[in-house]
């Protein structure tokens, strides 16, 4: 059985993929590493890809994890990339992220979540139910602040114009983090927010299975 190597979103873990129903494939989640001081995205990617043991693998990335999949594909051959609630190039970054990067606001304002910022963050993610709010709170608590600060900076400053020839993009039309107006998606999930991998897992799974079936 072939393996799909998955990279979760910023600060998330294997739970992000737990509701997907993928036919005929094993899912292996590559866990985030704590970055070294001053480590470049390229060097970090080289460490992350050590978790991939297959040649010409299939990669699947959620949010910032989708960006990492593209970075991995610059270093080693991959069969295909599936990205969910993510972006393919820096042209798809929203203006508010570019503005934060330009004025270096992320270097001034601490990245820790607070009781004041969490409702705003939850709205951006599109989480609404008690189960989702509890899960997101758990992910925030488990996230390493050194990793979070590094990842936010790398995401908003991502400089990439290259696309893998076999990249497939699944996106929600209600995504507040990466608004659909900046995105050219292959599959659009109606009323899907940034957290749709959890609350619209069946629809996302259908898209993934269609991509995998198409390439057999």
Residue-level pLDDT at 96: 87
In DSSP terms, 127 is beta-bridged to none
What is the C-alpha radius of gyration for the chain, rounded to an integer number of angstroms? Answer: 16
pLDDT of residue 109: 64
pLDDT at 139: 73
Cα separation, 109 vs 120, in Å, equals 15
Structure confidence at residue 111 (pLDDT):
57
pLDDT in tens, the chain (216 residues): 899 999 999 878 888 999 999 999 999 999 999 999 999 999 999 999 999 999 999 999 999 999 999 999 999 999 999 999 999 999 999 998 999 888 888 776 655 566 666 777 777 777 878 887 787 777 777 777 888 889 999 999 999 999 999 999 999 999 999 999 999 999 999 999 999 999 999 999 999 999 998 755
Q: Return the pLDDT at 12.
A: 81
The architecture (CATH level 2) of 2-214 comes to 3-Layer(aba) Sandwich (3.40)
- Domain spans, the chain: 2-214
Q: Is the pTM value of this prediction over 0.75?
A: yes
Give the torsion through C-alpha atoms of 51, 53, 57, 60, to 10 deg: -20
Which stretches of the chain are DSSP H helices?
41-48, 64-75, 95-103, 105-108, 118-125, 130-142, 145-156, 196-199, 201-214
- Please report the pLDDT score of residue 114 as a whole number: 61
């Amino acid at each position: 059985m072939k393996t799909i190597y998955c990279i979760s979103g910023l600060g998330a873990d294997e739970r992000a993929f737990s509701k997907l129903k993928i036919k005929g494939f094993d899912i292996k989640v590559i866990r985030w590493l704590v970055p070294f001081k001053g480590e470049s995205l390229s060097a970090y990617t080289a460490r992350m890809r050590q978790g991939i043991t297959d040649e010409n693998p299939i990669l699947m990335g959620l949010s910032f994890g989708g960006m990492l999949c593209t970075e991995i594909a610059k270093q080693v051959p991959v069969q295909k990339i599936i990205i969910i609630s993510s972006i393919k190039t820096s042209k798809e970054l929203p203006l508010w992220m570019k503005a934060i990067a330009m004025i270096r606001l992320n270097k001034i304002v601490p990245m820790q979540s607070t009781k004041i910022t969490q409702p705003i963050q939850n709205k951006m993610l599109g989480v609404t139910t008690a189960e989702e709010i509890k899960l997101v709170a758990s992910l925030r608590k488990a996230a390493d602040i050194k990793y979070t600060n590094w990842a936010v900076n790398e995401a908003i400053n991502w400089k990439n114009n290259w696309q893998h020839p076999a990249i497939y993009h699944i996106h929600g039309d209600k995504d507040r983090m990466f608004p659909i107006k900046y995105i050219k998606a292959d599959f659009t999930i109606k009323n899907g927010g940034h957290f749709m991998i959890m609350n619209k897992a069946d629809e996302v799974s259908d898209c993934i299975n269609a991509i995998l079936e198409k390439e057999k």
